[in-house]
Structure 1
Amino acid sequence: MRKAKVLSLALILLILGYQTNAKDLQKKALPPNIDLIVSRAMKTFEVPGLSLAIVKDGKVLLAKGYGVRNLKENIPVDSKTLFSIASNSKLFTAVSLGILVDEGKISWNSRVVDLIPWFQMFDPYVTREITVKDILSHRCGLGLGAGDLLWWPPSNYPRDEIIKRIRFIPPSSSFRSSYAYNNLMFLVAGKVVESVSGMSWEDFVFERIFKPLRIDSSSPRVSDLKKFENSATPYAKVDGVLKEVKPFLNDNINPAGGIISCAEDMARWMIVMVDGGRIDKEKRLLSEKSYREITSIVTPRPISDPPQEIVELKPNFSGYGLGIGVRDYRGTKILQHTGGLPGFLSQVTMVPSLKLGIAVLTNQESSEAYSSITYSILDYYLSAPSKDWIASFLKYKEREEKSTKEEEEKAERERKKDSKPSLPLPSYAGVYKDDWYGDVEIVWTGEKLRIKFSQTPSLVGDLEHWQYDTFIARWDDRELRADAYVTFSLNPDGTIERVRMKAFSPSTDFSFDFHDLLLKPVKKEK
C-alpha cells in the first residue's frame, strides 16, 4: 500500500511537473506583456506607428502593427505596412555578395579594382589592395560618415558619380587600422554586385533574396515608398514639436540604405538569418561558410562605459562583421544593426544561439523607443533580471537633451557678439569648390548673404554673422535640423583663402559631414 502511495505521489508530481514545463514552454513563446511594453514605449517617446516582428525556432511568434501610419488619417499600422529600414539594408548587400562567393564568381578577398576597374580611393595603395571584405566592414580608412553629403540630404548625384568622387576624400586613419562607419563603401559593394552578376543591385536582391524567402511586400527601392498605399508616414521632432517630415526617396543610396519592408517580411528574413542562412531542410540562401564570414567580427570596435542609466549594455566584445554588428549582450552573442532616414528608425537584433530574431520598425526618430522594446524582449528570452528599460532610456534621453541645450547655450553665451567681419559682406560672395563635393555658392542679395550647395537642393539658407569671420548657415528647410558654422580664413592680402564648416549642434546627424569639406574660392574668369 505504501509503495502504491509512493508511486501515486510520483505520478502526480510527474504530471504536475509536465504541466509546469508546458506552461514554461508556452511562456517562452512570447512575452506576456509585449503589447503593454510596446504601447508604453510608443506613448513615452511619441511614436505614431510601429511594426514589430519576433521569430524563434523557425516560427513567427509575432508580426504585428501598432499605432497609426499617419496621424491625420488615423489609419492603423498592420503587419504589411511598409517602413524604410535604412541601414538595415546593408546586411542584404553583404548576403548578396555572399551568394556570389558561394557561386565561385568572387571571393571575400577579391580586389575591388579587379571587379570595378575605374574605382579609386584617395591613396593608390588602398585602391590596389581594398577587397570585398574591406568595403563591407568599415575599415577602409575613411572617417565617420565621410562623403555622406554626396547623397544626403537628397542630392542630384547618380550612384556611379558618387562612387567616382570617393577618390577625392582624404582618409582619416590608416587602411584597416580602425573602425569608422561609412555608407559610401556599400554603394561600391552594390556596384560589385552589378558588375559581377550583370544585374542591378535592386534586381539581384529582389530575384535572389526576396523571391526565395517569399518576401512579398517589400521593395529594394526606397523611391517605392510613395507608390504603396500601405506605407507609413515619417515623423520627427522639429523645434521640439512632432511633425510630418519629407521622406527620403532617392535611389542613389539603395545598397546602403534603400530597402522598405514590413513586419511579415522582416520575420521571414530573420528566420533564415538566425538559422545559419538555411531556408529549409533542402535549400540554403547562403553556405554555412559564407554565413560564418558575415557574422564573425572583421573590424573590432572600441568598448567604452555606457551611460549610467543603461550600464547593462556594456559588452564583453564588440565589432562589425560584414554588413552587421556583432557583440554580446549579457554574455550572449547577438547580431544587431540599426537604420535611420528622415522620420524612420529601425533596429534588427538576432540571437543565432536561440534562433531568436527581433525587428522593430518605427515612423519616428526615437532610438529610445526601439531600444527599450528590444531589450525588454531580449531579457525575457535570456531569463535576465527584470529592468524598466523604458524609464531608463527616458532618463538617459532627458539628460542628453539637457546636455545638448547647455552646450548650445554656452556657445551663444561665449561668442563675441560685438565682433565684426574682416571684410564687407559682399566680399564673402563667390563660388567655392571642394574636391569631393563640388561647388558651393555664396551670394550677396543686396541685404544679406545666402549659401547654396550646387548638387543638394535643400541645402540653401541665410548666412548670419556669428563672430569675427564665422557665420552660421540657417537652412531654409528647418526639417534638416543641421545649421552649421561657416568660417572664412584670409590670406595676408585680405583675400579669402578657404572656408571650413562644422555642425552647430552636437545633436546633428553625422551624415551632415560639413567638417570634411575644404572649400576654396574658384577664380573668376576674366
Structure 2
Amino acid sequence: MPNIRFTAVAAAVCHLALAAPVFSAPPENFPARVNSLLDDLGVPGATVAIVEKGEVTLAKGFGVRSLEAPEAVNAETIFATGSTGKAFTTAALAILVDRGLIKWDDRVIDHMPDFRMWDAWVTREMTVRDLLVHRSGLGLGAGDLLFVPRSDLSRKETMRRLRHIKPATSFRSGYAYDNVLYMVAGQLVEEVTGDTWEVFVQENIFDVLGMKSSTVSDQALIASENRARPHARLNGPIRGMGDQVPLDETMAIAPNAAPAGGLAISANDMTQWLLTQLGKGKMPAGEDRLFSEAQSAQMWLPAVLQPISPAPANLAAAQPMFRTYALGWTVQDYRGAKLVWHGGAVFGSLAVVALLPDQDVGFYVAVNSEEGEMVRGLLYELLDHYLDLPMENWPEKLHDFKVARQAAAADMVAAQLAPTSDASGSGPLLPLAGYVGEYNDPWYGTISVREEGDALEVDFPHSLGLSAKLEHVRYNTFITHFNDPGMEPAYLTFSLDAEGRVDRITAKAVSPIADFSFDYHDLLFTPVAAAN
C-alpha cells in the first residue's frame, strides 16, 4: 500500500452556531487507497461504511461483485458478514430481555428443557449469557463440522448433538471461540417467541432499522441480484495460495448456523446498525429505541479475558494491552482508546464491524475474498485516522506477515507428503475392502467408506453431497480429495485392532493453518457394526 498520510479534511470546518454537529471526513484519498489495495492484493470487491457523531460520512462500494460477471459493487451490494452477525443475535436476545421474556442469567434449560451439554452440571448451570461469551469448556471451533460447509440438520437436531461433544476444559475456566452455542442462542429465540431466528431478526431489527437490502439466510443471499459473490485461492499448495476464483455459493448452505454468522449486509444498511450501536440502542430516526441503554451496557460488558499472543515487531503497535469478550463483541484497547469490534469470516468473504464509543465513530469493511490483510489493515488505518495517530501502512505489513506464514505452512505440508524411504509405508496395510464400511461419530453422525474402482471414497451424508476420494499417504493414513474444492484436505487414519480390523478412524487437517472450523481433530469414528 502506498505511503499516504491520511488527514481529516473537515475536522476544523465550522458552521453557524446551533448548526448540525461537526464531524470528521474519512481519510483523504480514501477511495483511491481502497481501489489501490484491490489491485495490489487481487481482491475483487469491497464495501465500506463509516459513521461519526450521528452522521453517515461514507457508504460506498468498490471493485466488482464477481470476477465472472463484473458488475460494480455499490452501496446497496450485500456482502456476507460472518460472525459480525453474532451481535445481531445478542441484540435479538436484548429485545427479549427488555420485553421481560428472558434474563441474561436465566438458565438455558429453564427455557429449553431438551438442551444438554456433555456434563450434567454444565447443563444445569449454563445461562443465556454463557451461550454468548465462549467460556463453555468446548474447544476452539468444536462442532463446526455440523454446518461446515453445509448441512441437512435442523437447528434443534444440531443442538441435540452437543451432548456428545467432549469439553476441552472445565466450565467457565477460560476462553475458546465457538459457533455452535450461538446456534443454540438462535434456537432460544424461537423457543421463547415462536418465531424462527430469521423471522425475528428480519421483523424486529432489519425492518425496524430500515435495512431493506440485507438478508438473514444463505438462500436469501443467493436469491439477491445485488450480492457480492465469494472468492478464494484454492489451487496452491495450501488454501490462500494460488489463483483467485469465484466459489460455488450453493456448496455452502447451512441454515442451522445462521445465528452464528448468516447475515449479508450492504454499506447503506450497516450505517443504521452502526448508528444504533453508538446510540446505545437509540435508533437514528427519532427517539425510538431498538433496545434499552441498560441492555447496550450489558452487551458491551466484558465477561471473559481473551489470551493475547505476542505480535511480530512490525505489528506490535496494534497489539492491545487487554482483550475481552462481551455479548457478541470483543472489547479491548487500541493504542489507548476503547475499541468495541468483531470480525467475520465465511468461506470466500471477510468483514469487520468496529466502534470507537468515546469518539462516537463506527466502521464497516467487507470484501468478497479471503484477503484478511485488507479488512484488518483498513480497520487499523481508519482507527489511526480517527485517533489522530501516525500512518502505519497496516495492510502491507499484514500482507508480508501472511505471505511468510503461508510459505512456512506450505513447506510443512510438502515435508509431510514427501515419499518415505520406509518400504513398509509404500502401500495400505489392508486390502481396500478391509477399510470399507460405515463409521459413526456420536456428534457428527455416520460416514460411509466404499471401494470405487481401485481407490476408496468416503461419503458425508449430512453434508449434502459431500464426498472425497482417498489417496494413500503411508501405512493406514489417507488424504482426502473432496468434491468441494472449498473443503480443507484432511488426513484420515484407520487404526486396527488386535485382529487386524479397523476399530476407529481419526482425522486432522493437512494444513497447519487451516481455519479452526475444520475441526477434524474432534472426530472419532468407530465401525457401526461394532456399536450395535
Q: TM-score normalized by structure 2? A: 0.92
Amino acid aligned to 2:521: H
The answer as to 2:164 corresponding to 1:157 is no
Q: What is the CA–CA distance in structure 2 between the aligned matches of 1:100 and 1:511, rounded to whole Å?
A: 30
2 CA distance for matches of 1:53 and 1:20? 18
Deviation at 1:417, TM superposition (A): 6.0
For structure 2, the 5+ residue unaligned runs are: 1-9, 16-20, 236-241
- Do the aligned partners of 2:190 and 2:196 also contact (CA within 8 Å) in 1? yes
Aligned-partner Cα distance in 2 for 1:231–1:469: 44
Q: Specify the SS of the correspondent of 1:76.
A: coil
Q: Residues 235 and 242 of structure 1 are in contact (CA less than 8 Å); yes or no, is this contact kept in structure 2?
A: yes
**1:225–1:249 CA contact under 8 A, matched in 2:** no
Give the counterpart letter for 1:374 in structure 2.
L
> 1:465 deviation in Å?
1.2
Distance in structure 1 (CA, Å) of the matches to 2:416 and 2:435: 23
CA contact (8 A) 2:331 2:338 kept: yes
Q: Give the corresponding residue for 1:242.
A: 244
1:21 aligns with 2:12: yes
**1: CA distance between counterparts of 2:453 and 2:195?**
52
Match of residue 447, structure 1, among 438, 450, 454: 454
Give the aligned residue type for 1:368: E
Verify: 1:459 aligned to 2:450, yes or no.
Answer: no
- For residues 275-333 of structure 1, the C-alpha deviation after alignment (integer angstroms, 9 at most, x for no partner) is 22221562222222211111121111012212333112211110110111111110111
Q: What is the identity, as a one-letter code, of the residue corresponding to 1:435? A: P
Asked if the contact 2:441–2:524 (Cα under 8 Å) also holds between the matched residues in 1, the reply is yes
2:6 — aligned with what?
Answer: none
Q: Which stretch shows the higher mean deviation, 242-251 or 102-111?
A: 242-251
Letter of the structure 2 residue corresponding to residue 377 of structure 1: L
Aligned equivalent of 2:498 = 492
Matching residue's letter, 2:508 = K
In structure 2, the residue matched to 1:120 is 116
- Alpha-carbon distance between aligned partners in 2 of 1:525 and 1:144, rounded to the nearest angstrom: 28
Aligned to 1:10: none
* CA positional deviation for 1:416: 5.3
Q: Could you tell me how far apart the structure 2 residues matched to 1:232 and 1:253 are?
A: 20
Which letter does structure 2 place at the counterpart of 1:244? P
State which of 126, 130, 145 in structure 1 corresponds to 2:126. Answer: 130
How far apart are 1:445 and its partner, in Å? 2.2
Given candidates 77, 83, 88, the residue that maps to 1:87 is 83
> Could you say which residue in structure 1 is the equivalent of 2:139?
143
| CA apart distance, 1:249 | 3.2
Flag the 1:80–1:128 CA change in 2: closer, same or farther, 3 A. same
Contact 1:135/1:188 (8 A) holds in 2: yes
**1:26 Cα deviation from its structure 2 partner:** 7.6
Question: What are the superposed Cα offsets for residues 418-453 of structure 1, whole Å, 9 maximum, x if unpaired?
Answer: 314332221011111101111111112241111111
In structure 2, what is the Cα distance between the partners aligned to 1:167 and 1:218?
34
Count of aligned pairs: 507
1:286 partnered with 2:317:
no
| Residues 384-393 or 182-191, more deviating | 384-393
Structure 2 residue 517 is the aligned partner of structure 1 residue 511? yes
Name the TM-score, length of structure 1 as normaliser: 0.93
Helix, strand or coil at the partner of 2:13: helix
Larger Rg: 1
Question: Partners in 2 of 1:208 and 1:401 — Cα distance?
Answer: 43
SS in 2 for 1:523: helix
CA separation of 1:133 and 1:414: change in aligned 2, threshold 3 A = farther
Q: Which consecutive segments of 4 or more residues in structure 1 shift more than 4 A?
A: 23-27, 414-417
- The reply on whether 1:471 has 2:475 as its aligned counterpart is no
Aligned to 1:189: 185
SS at match of 2:282: coil
Residue 259 of structure 1 pairs with residue 250 of structure 2:
no
Aligned residues with identical type, % of pairs = 39
CA deviations over 1:473-501 (Å, ceiling 9, x no partner): 12122232x11111111111212221100
Q: Which runs of 5 or more structure 1 residues have no equivalent in the other structure?
A: 1-18
